[in-house]
Structure 1
């Protein structure tokens, strides 16, 4: 990944007729063939839209799929970050998760041009797939994306308002097979059926509890409201058989909701949400472990001092490109005010969580 001092430029070329058709149907799921130029290198790619509500705004998000594995990657995601006027929350969140010991995709800002028309600054997100694991020298294993509210670790569906027909519903399989999908369904079933007295010992057969508690602390700090039932990926290590959870799509954080509106710093309780979280925190030893984990994070990583340096560096290095982005001219004033807004949120959220740590004892 490139440093901010050398933001990478991506130049995409699409046949004019194909591009015209592509732009006319923003809900199309089929890719168009394109050429991607990065410096002196040219790659064949499949180019397609990504996201849902972002397709309704002027600045779209995209996905690159390489027919051949390129630089150890099969696909890349380019997020417009249009709702987040700071253009920093997603990266700030993912880097924060990484700093607290949670497996997290890397991200970096890039510049995008399509058919010689500058589209602006984007956030490139690493895809969570087999190549993600390979780059980290992690063991192979199935990967699932949580794609809707059914990914709530419950047997009950908030969508159907009844028992799920399939306990693994709510997820899309990124890597793996039908056996792996069945294992996910069994995991959800066990979460809900292991007795209270056996949960502390039995859950270790399915879940990396330490990683889960670190992830929980990260969601609670950043206040990603949707993060408890989607906006995450599950990875099951083949060497241990244990599930780990990874953050994904974290632009609605640090005091803003999915619409970009202010979210009060005390909106999400220190205990978080979802069925698995409730069952884990019902165990005194796990609750005590969560207390110690969160307390340490509030002292070291989730502070205005630690994150303020990262915010300042990120702001200074993307500012020249944000000012040139053709889609952000009307919101540039808010871009300049967002660092202070984010730092105020961190300060207030940190104080709030510290004041409520005693609830975990």
Structure 2
């Protein structure tokens, strides 16, 4: 949390030779050693760039792994997102907070000011890693975590990338935490989604999936309008007690009326039924459609309103604004930053109108 309405400054020091090595190949996954000064503490860390297409941006995003000590405030890893394409710098955090408020597991995040080797790099979003510490921090039952790493994480037997039959049921996923035995549970989930007979689907799928939680997540994706949310931008956690998979959001800067390039995304771009094989099969069941529709309507009546969201948006904007003026990549665009709260509120109103006009499709 920001203290006294100020952003905390993270001071990162990378030896010039190591920084040169890091910059020489932006796609290299090998980290370089560094020192991080935070809250008056000096920590030995490893640093590498993070993300896919965002590595090409001038303002880089980083993954910080704690080396000595191996944990800081219970975390082994934190992510520093530049939020380069989002003119508001707010959408990712706004989304993570929104998901939590509507009853989903969601990463904790906060805005910080990053200083690299004495030079201000600007406003960043520090994001909690979804890993074993994520589970421990929430006192959840132990369980495996899988990352959806590309468009093949579409819950289908057909690749979303080349439209061919997948060679592996795990295609599109990377195990972040757990053992090789946990891969079998993921394989089983994908297999069952695609092979349970229609007449048996309503009864059998809850053996593998927390259906209501999936619909809470789905409502979050639909309301924030994350176009990639159904085949990417999520993690799966398997609760070892319930033996059900739950889904966790990730990478939500292209939301609230903006696309991945920061351009305006019209409010009707993502349909109310969403995408992917799992969603289609769930909504094929009348009782499941009813659960989803009721959840969506409840959230639109309570959290997804300008009255509820505007104070949060404006408070976040006011907190970050003084630091945007220090951001070498954003300070010249302060006028755009200042109109984004209004743009986000306008999106909420127009998106809600579109979705309410589409509710009949869930009957």
Query: What TM-score comes out, normalization by structure 1 length?
Result: 0.98
Deviation at 1:66, TM superposition (A): 0.9
Q: Distance in 1 between matches of 2:202 and 2:7?
A: 47
Contact 1:156 1:163 in 2 (8 A): yes
Matched, 1:109 2:117: no
Tell me what 2:86 maps to.
84
Alignment of 1:108-187 (within 5 A): 108-187=110-189
Contact 1:224 1:252 in 2 (8 A): yes
Tell me what 1:66 maps to.
66
Q: Distance in 1 between matches of 2:94 and 2:66?
A: 27
Tell me what 1:227 maps to.
229
Tell me what 1:42 maps to.
42
Contact 2:120 2:326 in 1 (8 A): no
Tell me what 2:275 maps to.
273
Per-residue Cα deviation, 1:238-291 (whole angstroms, up to 9, x for no partner):
111100001000000011111111111011111111100000011110100111
Structure 1's 322 and 305: CA in aligned 2 closer, same or farther, altered over 3 A?
same
Tell me what 1:343 maps to.
345
Q: Distance in 2 between matches of 1:40 and 1:186?
A: 48
Tell me what 1:259 maps to.
261
SS of the residue corresponding to residue 157 of structure 1 reads coil
Deviation at 1:359, TM superposition (A): 1.9
Contact 2:310 2:345 in 1 (8 A): yes
From 264, 284, 287, the equivalent of 2:286 is: 284
Q: Distance in 2 between matches of 1:212 and 1:58?
A: 36
Contact 2:123 2:327 in 1 (8 A): yes
Structure 1's 172 and 4: CA in aligned 2 closer, same or farther, altered over 3 A?
farther
Alignment of 1:203-218 (within 5 A): 203-218=205-220
Tell me what 2:243 maps to.
241
For structure 2, the 5+ residue unaligned runs are none
Deviation at 1:4, TM superposition (A): 7.2
Matched, 1:10 2:10: yes
Contact 1:4 1:314 in 2 (8 A): no
SS of the residue corresponding to residue 134 of structure 1 reads helix
For structure 1, the 5+ residue unaligned runs are none
Q: Distance in 2 between matches of 1:253 and 1:40?
A: 35
Give me the CA root mean square deviation: 1.1
Tell me what 2:54 maps to.
54
Contact 2:115 2:121 in 1 (8 A): yes
Count of residues paired in the alignment: 361
Per-residue Cα deviation, 1:204-261 (whole angstroms, up to 9, x for no partner):
1000001000011110001100000000000000111100001000000011111111
Contact 1:85 1:335 in 2 (8 A): yes
Deviation at 1:3, TM superposition (A): 4.8
Contact 1:4 1:317 in 2 (8 A): no
Which 10-residue stretch deviates more, 276-285 or 327-336? 327-336
Which 10-residue stretch deviates more, 178-187 or 140-149? 178-187
Q: Distance in 1 between matches of 2:244 and 2:163?
A: 29
Q: Distance in 2 between matches of 1:270 and 1:54?
A: 28
SS of the residue corresponding to residue 76 of structure 2 reads strand
Tell me what 1:320 maps to.
322
Query: What TM-score comes out, normalization by structure 2 length?
Result: 0.97
SS of the residue corresponding to residue 70 of structure 1 reads coil
Q: Distance in 2 between matches of 1:3 and 1:310?
A: 17
Q: Distance in 2 between matches of 1:330 and 1:284?
A: 52
